[in-house]
Amino acid sequence: MSVKFDAQVRQHSAISSLGQQQELNEKTDAQVRQQSAASDLGERRKLEEETCYEATAFAFDTWKKWLILTAVFYCQISMNFNAAIYANGVPGMAEDFGQTENTIRLGQMAFLLAYAFGCELWAPWSEELGRFWVLQASLFLVNVFQLPCMFATNFWTVLAARILGGLSSAGGSVTLGIVADMFEPKDQQYAVLYISYASCAGSVIAPIVGGFVEAYLPWQWVFYMQLILGVVAQTAHYFVVPETRSSVMLDKTARRRRKAAIAEKPNSKPADVTLFGPNEIDGNFLQRTDFKECRDLMWRPYHFLLTEPIVAFLSLLSGFSDALIFTGLNSFGMVLTLWGFGPVPTGLSFFSLLLGYTLGAVFFIPFFRRNTKAIERGNGELSAIKPETRLLPLLFTSVLLPLGLLGFGFSALGPPLVPHWIIPQVFIVLIGIANLAIYVATIDYMVAAYGAYCASATGGNGFCRDFLAGIAALYVNPLYSNIMPGTKWQLVIPTLILCLPAILLVIPVFIFWKWGAWFRKRSKFAESLAKEREEKKPARDEAIIKSRDPSRMGTAVNSPVGSRRPSLDLGLLDQVLERGVLGRYANVQH
């Protein structure tokens, strides 16, 4: 009887304690909301990366960073797979819808052009709302817009859905943003290479798979395959990738610390009652939303593209090299038919391009190691190597682009002058090496040269790649069909024509390698970045050292916000604001 009575007492005590704790939590939440909304809190303090480095994605363990990158790697493959596999559905749709193949190819052009603008539309909001929910929304919408294509009864339904799908694609602007969230500029070369490889590989895996779809399945399977990959990508992203955007994570940390201070919990600091994150310190979403600033931020990638010579010329080179791959989705097949290739062998021939990408990626590793050792010798300072050092691999590989085009062009003479189909494949490998090297090196150089503004600089790069690839869908068939038709030069001359702009666009690589510092000194963005890095370096170095102290990790107030399901955080577009670019909040007390 006594035992039973004791159990009832303990149960009643536990229920009472739980109720008291719940009441305290509710009271604390109300206090946090009340104090956060009050306008007379007094002096607000801003939580910065440098003062709470261990609460950002920079402090994630290495294994966790690469697990996240692997999930993002697959998402990037899925996005570029969507753009490229459409070409394998063109013959089937042309037959079913009673349209010419050139008309059906408008769907590919429309997707890529919309993709170019979509990347720039999504990127600023990922800086504001966080990477997680923006990328989830993007993946979801892309998957939804596969459905009208799968069940379309006319081409115009497909075209409309492809436009909406392209606009819904966040692309490399967000995935490369995740890299920047987790890696310091001096450490991110391998991560940039990894995600860039995925971007290139997705466009090549598509025709390899698409050859079998074109040969053995109805054209609807082009969209079934996209949907299957898209659902798997969204699921993997949902369960593996947490929020990584520093401003969003710091907002959550600041709220947690305020709540702990109000509740007077152990290890909390009374001063944390006035601590706010980078976004929330400027008010709620509506208070901080300013049309002019949003407009300026969304215009900035195009401003860089039009006014910064480094961004303009290297983006044109990167865009042209990517357009060649989408040109190859059609022209490779035309050339290989000279040796009797059908859809499946033509699709498998893209393994040569994948081999080129792989060789190009491996080629970068010794240069990365060299840069890492130079930075270590310079006491870990990024300034130990000039940004132009990032272009060194490109001096050797960029010339392979015109050489590959030249060789591929003459191999299109076909048998008996070119006896074996392996000869054009060798030149395709060279084009693949150059394409990956151009993408990686230009991105790496822009990140080093523009730092906090790299999202705008690389945004111009991504825009050119998608935009010029979309234009390629229009000109490839007329180019390879209407020049000296019926002669042995029909497939040769078009490729040689493409070789000319390749030669011209490679020249700026050598100019920027030699005189890049001169161009950077005349850029207000690059110059302000150099000054900002110098000012913040001591505080950031100290924060990095402290973040490696085991005694500071995992504490209630400082641990990284690693919940697998991040909450949607409504703050302003402050990729620029928190860095002091516009200077509007430069006088906030820290």
Reported as a single tens digit per residue, the pLDDT across 111-164 is 999 998 888 888 777 877 888 999 999 999 999 999 999 999 999 999 999 999
574 occurs within a structural domain: no
CA distance 334 to 290: 52
350 occurs within a structural domain: yes
Task: Tokens 């075209």: give the residue.
Answer: 159
pLDDT of residue 140: 96
pLDDT of residue 416: 87
Q: How many residues does the chain have?
A: 590
Ranking 219-233, 263-277, 340-354, 509-523 by mean pLDDT, the lowest is 263-277
pLDDT of residue 24: 45
Burial class (CB in 10 A: 0-12, 13-18, 19+), 266: exposed
CA dist list (Å): 195 to 183, 436, 472: 13, 11, 24
270 occurs within a structural domain: no
* pTM of the predicted structure, to 2 decimals: 0.81
**More reliable by pLDDT, 391 or 50:** 391
CA distance 51 to 54: 9
Q: Is the pLDDT of residue 384 over 80?
A: no
Alpha carbon of residue 203 to chain centroid: 15
**What's the pLDDT band for 180 if we cut at 50, 70, 90?**
confident
Q: Which CATH number belongs to the domain containing residue 225 in this structure? A: 1.20.1250.20
Q: Which positions ≥6 away from 552 have C-beta within 8 Å? A: 54, 546, 558
What's the whole-number mean pLDDT along residues 386-401?
Answer: 92
Residue 67 tokens, joined: 């697990």
Closest CA to 536 of 441, 444, 452: 452
Give 45's strand partners: 275
Taking the CA atoms of residue 565, residue 570, residue 572 and residue 578 in that order, the dihedral angle to the nearest 10 degrees is -40
Q: Is the pLDDT of residue 499 over 80?
A: yes
Q: Phi/psi class of residue 38: alpha, beta or left (left: φ > 0; alpha: ψ in -120 to 50)?
A: beta
pLDDT of residue 562: 43
1 occurs within a structural domain: no
Total of domains in the chain: 1
Reported as a single tens digit per residue, the pLDDT across 544-567 is 655 555 554 444 344 454 444 444
Give the dihedral sign, CA 128/129/135/138. negative
Which amino acid is present at 141?
A: L
Reported as a single tens digit per residue, the pLDDT across 65-74 is 999 999 999 9
CB crowding 396-423: b at 16 or more within 10 Å, else e: ebbbbbbbbbbbbbbbbebeeebeebee
pLDDT of residue 581: 32
110 occurs within a structural domain: yes
Q: Is the pLDDT of residue 578 over 80?
A: no
Q: Is the pLDDT of residue 9 over 60?
A: no
pLDDT of residue 305: 87
Q: Is the pLDDT of residue 397 over 60?
A: yes
Q: Which positions ≥6 away from 266 have C-beta within 8 Å? A: none
586 occurs within a structural domain: no
What's the whole-number mean pLDDT along residues 483-495?
Answer: 89
pLDDT of residue 545: 59
Q: Which positions ≥6 away from 283 have C-beta within 8 Å? A: none
pLDDT of residue 502: 94
pLDDT of residue 424: 93
**Using an 8 Å Cβ cutoff, are 88 and 214 in contact?**
yes
Which amino acid is present at 322?
A: D
Ranking 9-23, 179-193, 235-249, 283-297 by mean pLDDT, the lowest is 9-23
**Using an 8 Å Cβ cutoff, are 446 and 314 in contact?**
yes
pLDDT of residue 567: 40
What's the whole-number mean pLDDT along residues 441-455?
Answer: 80
Task: Tell how strand 275-276 and strand 45-46 pair up.
Answer: parallel
**What's the pLDDT band for 43 if we cut at 50, 70, 90?**
confident
Q: Is the pLDDT of residue 42 over 70?
A: no
**More reliable by pLDDT, 279 or 506:** 506
pLDDT of residue 354: 94
Residue 121 tokens, joined: 């539309």
Reported as a single tens digit per residue, the pLDDT across 317-327 is 999 999 998 88
What's the whole-number mean pLDDT along residues 230-235?
Answer: 96
Which amino acid is present at 268?
A: S
Q: Which positions ≥6 away from 25 have C-beta within 8 Å? A: none
Q: Is the pLDDT of residue 3 over 50?
A: no
Other beta carbons less than 10 A from residue 478's beta carbon? 11
pLDDT of residue 423: 92
Instruction: Using DSSP, state whether 586 is helix, strand or coil.
Output: coil
Longest CA–CA separation in the chain, Å: 105
137 occurs within a structural domain: yes
Closest CA to 159 of 96, 225, 93: 93
pLDDT of residue 529: 59
Residue 391 tokens, joined: 């272009």
pLDDT of residue 148: 95
**Using an 8 Å Cβ cutoff, are 48 and 278 in contact?**
yes
Ranking 295-304, 369-378, 571-580 by mean pLDDT, the lowest is 571-580
Percent composition of the chain: helix, strand, coil (DSSP 3-state, to 5): 75, 0, 20
CA distance 588 to 494: 59
Task: List alpha helices for 412-453, DSSP H.
Answer: 422-450
Ranking 21-30, 270-279, 508-517 by mean pLDDT, the lowest is 21-30
What's the whole-number mean pLDDT along residues 202-222?
Answer: 93
pLDDT of residue 557: 44
Task: Tokens 């080629």: give the residue.
Answer: 363
pLDDT of residue 10: 52
**Using an 8 Å Cβ cutoff, are 408 and 349 in contact?**
no
What's the whole-number mean pLDDT along residues 353-364?
Answer: 95
Ranking 9-13, 160-164, 296-300, 410-414 by mean pLDDT, the lowest is 9-13
Backbone angles phi, psi at 558, to 5 degrees: -115, -5
60 occurs within a structural domain: yes
Which amino acid is present at 239?
A: F
Q: Which stretch, 127-136, 354-363, 467-476, has highest mean pLDDT?
A: 354-363
Which amino acid is present at 524?
A: K
Say what angle helices 492-521 and 400-411 make with each other, to 10 degrees.
180
Q: Read out DSSP for 363-380?
A: HHHHHHHHHHHHHHHTTT
Other beta carbons less than 10 A from residue 533's beta carbon? 16
Residue 281 tokens, joined: 């310190």
> Considering the chain, what is the average pLDDT of its residues?
81
The boundaries of the domain holding residue 303 are 53-244+292-528
CA distance 59 to 62: 9
Closest CA to 428 of 495, 522, 368: 495
Task: Tokens 């697998």: give the residue.
Answer: 564
pLDDT of residue 448: 80
